[in-house]
Amino acid sequence: MKKFFFVKVLLACLMVGLLIAAASAAQPAKGSKASKPSQAQQLRQMSTFLSNFTEVGLFDFDLGKGADGDTLHLGGNPSHPELIRFGIMHNYINNYKSRIKPCPTKGCKHGSLVIDAKFVAESVKKYFGIRLKHVSVKDPGQPFYFDGRLYHFEGADGEAVYYAEVKQAERDGAIIRMTGDLYNSEDKDDRPYTFEAAAKPYKWNGKDTWVILSFKAQSSGSDSEPDMAGLLAPTKGTWRFDGAKDTAYIVMDGKGNFDAYYASGALEMSGTLEPSEEYEGVYIYLLRDKSGKDLDMGFFMDSETQLHFGNDEGQIYIKDKD
Ligand SMILES: [Zn+2]
C-alpha cells in the first residue's frame, strides 16, 4: 500500500510539473494558442529526446567522473571522446544536409567529411548541458580530427539503430526519471533492452527540453527466452517403453506433436508437447491432448536417446535407432 501511495504522490507531482511546464511554455499570443501537452505527447517528446543518445549507441552512461565499472562517466572530462563522437554523429544522423560538408582539402588524410566545431559544441551543450572543449579523437576505429575550426571524419553506417520508447515518467524533485524499452529502428517488435534514464528540465533557445543525467539499458531477457524449436527438436523419433519391442511406444515429430500407441499398435492418443522450465535450465515436457487439455503428465529428457516420465521412478522410454 505504501508503494501505491508513493506512486500516486509522484504522479500528482508529475501532473503539477506538467501544468507548470505548460504555463511557463505559454507565450504571448501569436495567433496560435499554446496548449498543454498531453501526457502521451510528453512521453513521445521524452522518447525522441532519449533516442538521440541510443541512435548513436550510447546505452550506458552518466555524468559522473572517473572510469570505474562498465558505465561510461561523461562528467569529468569536457573533451571526453564520447562527447565529441556524440556531437559529430548526432549531426551526421540528424543534420546531414545542413551541417555536414565534403572536406575542402583534396585527398585529406583526416577524413573526407567535415563539420564546423561550433555545431558539435552546440549539440553537446543542448543534450548534456556540458561545454565541450575541442580536441582530436584518436580512436583507431573512428578517429575525429580537430583542425582548430572543423572536425574531419569519415561516415559510418550499417549498424543496427535502437530508439527509446518511454513508458513511464516520474518527477523526483528536480529530476525526471523515465523507464521504457529500446526497439530496433527497423522492427518495432524487436525490443532487446529495457532502460532507466534520468534527465533534468532545461531551456534551450526558449523551448522546454531536458538535459540527460544518466541512461542505462539492460537486456530485457527476450534473448534468454527459451528457444522452443531448439527444445522440441531432440524429441523427434519413436520412443519405446523400456526400449523393448512389442511394448507401448510414442512417436514424436520434433515440432511438438506426439502420437501414443498401445503395444498392439492401436493409437491411444495424439496431442502436443509443451516444454516448461521445471528448475534452472531443466525442462519438463508437458503433454496436452488435441484440444489443449493438460494431461497431467510430462517427461524429462535424460539423454538424446532416453526420457523418463514423471519422477525418477517413472517409466523410461528409449529412442529407436534410425
Ligand atoms: Zn578532411
Annotated domain spans of the chain: 36-222, 228-319
Residues facing residue 300 across a β-bridge:
308
Which of 304, 266, 273, 268 is CA-nearest to residue 288? 273
To the question of domain 228-319 being in CATH 2.40.128.370, the answer is yes
Query: How far is it, in rounded angstroms, from Cα 305 to Cα 76?
Result: 59
Which residues contact residue 62 at a Cβ distance below 8 angstroms, ignoring those fewer than 6 apart? Answer: 71, 72, 73, 74, 75, 213, 214, 215, 216
* pLDDT for the residue 10: 44
* pLDDT for the residue 280: 72
Q: How far is the CA of 106 from the centre of ligand 1 (A)?
A: 8
For the chain, the average pLDDT equals: 87
* Residues written for the chain: 322
Per-position DSSP letters for 149-169, written without gaps between them: SEEEE-----S--EEEEEEEE
**C-beta of residue 151 within 8 angstroms of C-beta of residue 103:** no
Which residues contact residue 116 at a Cβ distance below 8 angstroms, ignoring those fewer than 6 apart? Answer: 99, 149, 150
Neighbours of ion ligand 1 (CB under 5 A): 103, 108, 110-111, 152
Cell reading at 209: 527540453
Mean pLDDT, range 21-42, rounded to an integer: 58
Pairing of strands 237-241, 72-73: unpaired
* pLDDT for the residue 314: 78
Q: Is 258 helix (H, G, I), strand (E, B) or coil?
A: strand
Q: How far is the CA of 111 from the centre of ligand 1 (A)?
A: 4
Q: How far is the CA of 148 from the centre of ligand 1 (A)?
A: 12
118-121 CB contacts, 8 Å cutoff, 24+ apart: 119/87, 119/91, 119/95, 120/84, 120/87, 120/88, 120/91, 120/151, 121/87
Predicted TM-score (pTM) of this structure: 0.61
Pairing of strands 72-73, 60-62: parallel
**pLDDT higher than threshold 50 for residue 164:** yes
Taking the alpha carbons at both ends of the chain, their separation in whole angstroms is: 61
Residues facing residue 241 across a β-bridge:
317
Q: How far is the CA of 142 from the centre of ligand 1 (A)?
A: 14
* pLDDT for the residue 69: 78
Q: How far is the CA of 53 from the centre of ligand 1 (A)?
A: 26
C-alpha dihedral sign at 34, 38, 43, 44: negative
Q: How far is the CA of 250 from the centre of ligand 1 (A)?
A: 70
pLDDT tens digits for range 285-303: 999 999 989 888 999 999 9
Residues facing residue 269 across a β-bridge:
260
pLDDT tens digits for range 200-237: 999 999 999 999 999 999 987 644 566 788 899 999 99
Q: How far is the CA of 153 from the centre of ligand 1 (A)?
A: 7
Which of 144, 103, 139 is CA-nearest to residue 120? 144
